[in-house]
């Protein structure tokens, strides 16, 4: 692959003989010249931009430049035809224009040849490249061995003419080449054997001349929001591949879906995002199907007739509403790939044991509480994905899946793994994150299978980061009996989790419940600041100042500079008549946050109730006209605070006259 790409890059550099330059500069100049009807000059700019794109291997820019080159060439030709004397285009310009046409054709041909070479090389590693053979016999010897060419996803504009030299060619894959000019490819098509089948991506089958429909054995429809399957597609009974899928934004819904069951040669059928509610029993007519994709529809059950699809190797049922899988699935013994994820399954049929050729099984995002022991019969499994279910334990038979390389059990309810997991010697990846499994259990598995890559975030940390605090708290309550063995990270995780759930109760005014959760947080981690702080808040909310003081003091011992705790402890000291302590903490708050205006009013009250009238008066006068917040001024805040303390009866009687003086001062 890489040598071919390198060869193509060198070839492009030799042909263009130019250094990589700014694509946008050349392209935009070309558009300006084109709009001014200066087609030849425009052509030169577009050609330069295309050279840059080729050097940079930018397929999108190559196609854009080529489109405008074709427009410029068409403009040149139109001007030539407009006058017999070619007066519009001078003789010299005509020669340049014709040369430009030749050069553009040469470049397009080289791109097609390069893509052909890549496809042949993938089938036969001895291929040297089409132009590297001096002997046609040697070249033909390789090409005669080629029966299939994969030219998909190459942004081709034409079918490479070299395909006609593959005398035994049976299949060409052109899927993903959305802009092929089928008329320009008609000469190549006319030289192909009638035995050749082509897979195409089209917006409408009519874009291909009907004379060549017989070559079309596979169709990918690029049009979305379709309401019926077109008649010209249903006429193609030779089809072996049909993709009518789209995406979740613009899905299809076919009124004549049952007509598809007449295409009995189909081997690959893709019908995702087609809003299918039910499948007809006629699905059984498609007995040649190898791959069936019904993902992201609305199916609640499958018809029994699906059991007639005995050649199926792949069945994709992801993203439906299936509540059960019928036992008849046992007849699909050729299945190697089965995707059942994102449904509503609560159990799997025991008959799944008959699918002995399965190598890939996805059961993720269902409601499974257990896996049947019969899963141990699927000896060929290499990938088993059962994440996002409700599995409590694994069957011991899982130890029989000796070919497993990838086992995904994330987000279940597993607490232990069966000892038989030691038999999975080929297992490379085991994902267990989101299970309440202990690290001891994880370490046991690591000891047994030391080369195994285990993906695991401890259960409590995983759900804590997902803000699932109740899950974490339930896990702690049910699983953690002794905190002495917990790391500091684990302790803070659990403490924080109880704290956050306590916050939920606090916001709902369920203070008693909040207190229980906050208390639990400091039991888990005695140095957990938020637990002490929020206990103080809870008691302060109930005007229980003495109790609040106790918890705020503990919080400040842990974080001596917490302005939140310091700010809350000041009113507690004021309302418990500890005015000296209130003064101390008010000054400390101001030193930490000099812009906190309310701290100054707290200091003024502390002064006032200690008989320091002058100091209090100075502060009240300073903040009287200050806008404290969006709601009130310093005057309004001061009067409100003094009134509240009077009503609480906490102002010393000897200082009541001073309070009246301050009120009078504020009301002047």
Whole-angstrom distance, CA of residue 112 vs CA of residue 105: 11
Which residues, other chains included, contact 85 with Cβ-Cβ below 8 Å and sequence gap of 6+?
none
Whether the pLDDT of residue 17 is over 70: the answer is no
**pLDDT band, very low/low/confident/very high, at 18 (cuts 50, 70, 90):** very low
DSSP assignments along 518-563, one per residue: HHHHHHH-TT-HHHHHHHHHHHHHTT-HHHHHHHHHHHHHH-TT-H
Mean pLDDT of 476-499: 89
Q: Which CATH fold would you assign to the domain 331-456?
A: 3.80.10
**pLDDT band, very low/low/confident/very high, at 86 (cuts 50, 70, 90):** very low
**pLDDT band, very low/low/confident/very high, at 527 (cuts 50, 70, 90):** very high
Which residues, other chains included, contact 78 with Cβ-Cβ below 8 Å and sequence gap of 6+?
none
CB count in 10 Å sphere of residue 202: 20
pLDDT tens digits for 599-657?
999 999 999 999 999 999 999 999 989 998 889 999 999 999 999 999 999 999 999 99
**pLDDT band, very low/low/confident/very high, at 247 (cuts 50, 70, 90):** low
> What pLDDT, on a 0 to 100 scale, did the predictor assign at position 105?
74
Of 85-94, 553-562, 635-644, give the lowest mean pLDDT range: 85-94
Whole-angstrom distance, CA of residue 286 vs CA of residue 644: 84
Mean pLDDT of 332-346: 97
Percent of the chain with pLDDT over 70: 93
Where b means 16+ CB within 10 Å and e means fewer, 112-147 reads bbbbbbbbbbebeeebebbeebeeeeebeebbeebe
- Is the torsion defined by CA of 511, 517, 520, 526 positive or negative? negative
What CA–CA distances, in Å, run from 163 to 146, 185, 220, 245, 501? 10, 11, 21, 29, 68
Angle at alpha carbon of residue 423, lines to 419 and 427, rounded to 5°? 110
Whole-angstrom distance, CA of residue 319 vs CA of residue 342: 5
> What pLDDT, on a 0 to 100 scale, did the predictor assign at position 389?
97
pLDDT tens digits for 224-241?
888 889 999 999 999 999
**pLDDT band, very low/low/confident/very high, at 71 (cuts 50, 70, 90):** confident
Kindly report the CATH class assigned to 469-667.
Answer: mainly alpha
pLDDT tens digits for 381-391?
999 999 999 99
Where b means 16+ CB within 10 Å and e means fewer, 388-406 reads bbebeebbebbbbbebbeb
Whether the pLDDT of residue 401 is over 80: the answer is yes
pLDDT tens digits for 21-40?
468 878 888 888 888 887 87
> What pLDDT, on a 0 to 100 scale, did the predictor assign at position 85?
44
What CA–CA distances, in Å, run from 302 to 290, 339, 345, 357, 361? 17, 14, 13, 21, 18
> What pLDDT, on a 0 to 100 scale, did the predictor assign at position 20?
41
> What pLDDT, on a 0 to 100 scale, did the predictor assign at position 6?
32
Return mean pLDDT, the chain.
89
DSSP assignments along 269-302, one per residue: EE-TTS------GGGGG-TT-SEEE--SS--S--
**pLDDT band, very low/low/confident/very high, at 440 (cuts 50, 70, 90):** confident
Mean pLDDT of 653-662: 92
Number of H helices, E strands in the chain: 21, 14
Sole residue written with tokens 């206990």: 535
How does DSSP classify residue 356? Answer: T
What CA–CA distances, in Å, run from 291 to 169, 245, 336, 464? 23, 14, 10, 41
Nearest to 348 by CA among 276, 410, 397: 397
Whether the pLDDT of residue 53 is over 60: the answer is yes
Is residue 307 within 8 Å of residue 332, measured between CB atoms? yes
How many CA atoms, within 13 angstroms, populate the side-chain half-sphere of residue 17?
2
Whether the pLDDT of residue 155 is over 90: the answer is no
Whether the pLDDT of residue 94 is over 80: the answer is no
Is residue 533 within 8 Å of residue 565, measured between CB atoms? yes
Looking at per-residue pLDDT, the higher value among 61 and 13 belongs to 61
Is residue 61 within 8 Å of residue 53, measured between CB atoms? yes
pLDDT tens digits for 408-426?
999 999 999 999 999 999 9
**pLDDT band, very low/low/confident/very high, at 520 (cuts 50, 70, 90):** very high
> What pLDDT, on a 0 to 100 scale, did the predictor assign at position 37?
82
How many CA atoms, within 13 angstroms, populate the side-chain half-sphere of residue 430?
20
Nearest to 27 by CA among 52, 9, 56, 54: 52
Whether the pLDDT of residue 151 is over 90: the answer is yes
Whole-angstrom distance, CA of residue 100 vs CA of residue 110: 15
Mean pLDDT of 564-593: 94
């Amino acid at each position: 692959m890489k040598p071919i790409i390198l060869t193509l890059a060198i070839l492009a550099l030799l042909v263009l003989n130019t250094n990589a330059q700014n694509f946008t500069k050349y392209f935009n100049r070309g558009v300006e010249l084109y709009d001014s009807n200066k087609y030849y000059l425009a052509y030169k700019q577009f050609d330069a931009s295309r050279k840059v794109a080729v050097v940079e291997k930018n397929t999108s820019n190559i196609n854009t430049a080529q489109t405008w080159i074709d427009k410029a060439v068409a403009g040149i030709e139109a001007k030539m035809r407009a006058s017999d004397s070619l007066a519009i285009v001078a003789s010299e310009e005509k020669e340049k224009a014709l040369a430009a046409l030749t050069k553009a054709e040469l470049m397009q041909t080289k791109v097609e040849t390069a893509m052909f070479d890549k496809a042949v090389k993938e089938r036969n590693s001895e291929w040297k490249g089409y132009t590297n053979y001096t002997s046609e016999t040697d070249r033909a010897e390789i090409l005669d061995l080629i029966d299939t060419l994969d030219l998909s996803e190459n942004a081709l504009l034409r079918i490479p003419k070299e395909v006609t030299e593959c005398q035994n060619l049976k299949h060409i894959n052109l899927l993903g080449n959305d802009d092929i000019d089928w008329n320009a490819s008609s000469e190549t098509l006319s030289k192909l054997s009638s035995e050749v089948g082509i897979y195409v991506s089209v917006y409408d089958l009519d874009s291909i001349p009907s004379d060549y429909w017989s070559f079309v054995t596979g169709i990918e429809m690029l049009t979305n929001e379709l309401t019926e399957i077109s008649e010209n597609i249903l006429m193609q009974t030779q089809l072996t591949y049909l993709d009518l899928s789209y995406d979740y934004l613009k899905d299809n819904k076919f009124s004549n879906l049952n007509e598809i069951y007449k295409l009995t040669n189909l081997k690959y059928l893709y019908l995702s995002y087609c809003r299918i509610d039910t499948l007809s029993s006629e699905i059984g007519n498609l007995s040649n199907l190898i791959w069936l994709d019904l993902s992201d529809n609305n199916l609640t059950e499958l018809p029994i007739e699906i059991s007639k699809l005995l050649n199926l190797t792949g069945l994709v049922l992801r993203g439906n509403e299936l509540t059960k899988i019928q036992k008849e699935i046992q007849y699909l013994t050729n299945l190697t790939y089965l995707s059942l994820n994102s449904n509503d399954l609560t159990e799997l049929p025991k008959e799944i044991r008959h699918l002995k050729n399965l190598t890939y099984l996805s059961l993720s995002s269902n409601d499974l509480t257990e896996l049947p022991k019969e899963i141990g019969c699927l000896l060929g499994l290499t990938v088993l994905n059962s994440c996002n279910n409700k599995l409590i334990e694994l069957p011991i038979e899982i130890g029989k899946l000796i070919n497993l390389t990838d086992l995904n059990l994330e987000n279940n309810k597993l607490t232990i793994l069966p000892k038989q997991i030691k038999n999975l010697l080929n297992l490379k990846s085991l994902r267990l994150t989101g299970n309440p499994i202990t690290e001891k259990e994880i370490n046991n598995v690591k000891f047994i299978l030391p080369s195994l890559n285990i993906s695991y975030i401890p259960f409590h940390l995983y759900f804590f980061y997902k803000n699932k605090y109740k899950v974490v708290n339930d896990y702690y309550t049910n699983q953690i009996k002794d905190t002495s063995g917990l790391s500091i990270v684990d302790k803070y995780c659990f403490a924080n989790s109880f704290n956050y759930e306590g916050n939920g109760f606090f916001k709902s005014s369920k203070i008693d419940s909040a207190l229980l959760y906050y208390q639990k947080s400091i039991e888990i981690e005695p140095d957990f600041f938020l637990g002490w702080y929020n206990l103080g808040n809870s008691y302060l909310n109930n005007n229980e100042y003495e109790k609040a003081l106790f918890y705020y003091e503990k919080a400040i011992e842990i974080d001596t500079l917490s302005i939140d705790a310091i700010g809350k402890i000041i009113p507690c000291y004021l309302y418990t008549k500890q005015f000296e302590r209130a003064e101390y903490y008010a000054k400390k708050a101001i030193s930490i946050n000099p812009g906190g205006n309310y701290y100054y009013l707290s200091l003024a009250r502390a002064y006032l109730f200690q008989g320091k009238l002058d100091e209090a008066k100075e502060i009240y006068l300073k903040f009287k006209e200050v806008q404290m917040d969006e709601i009130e001024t310093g005057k309004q805040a001061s009067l409100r605070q003094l009134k509240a303390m009077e009503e609480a009866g906490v102002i010393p009687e000897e200082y009541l006259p001073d309070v009246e003086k301050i009120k009078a001062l504020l009301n002047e």
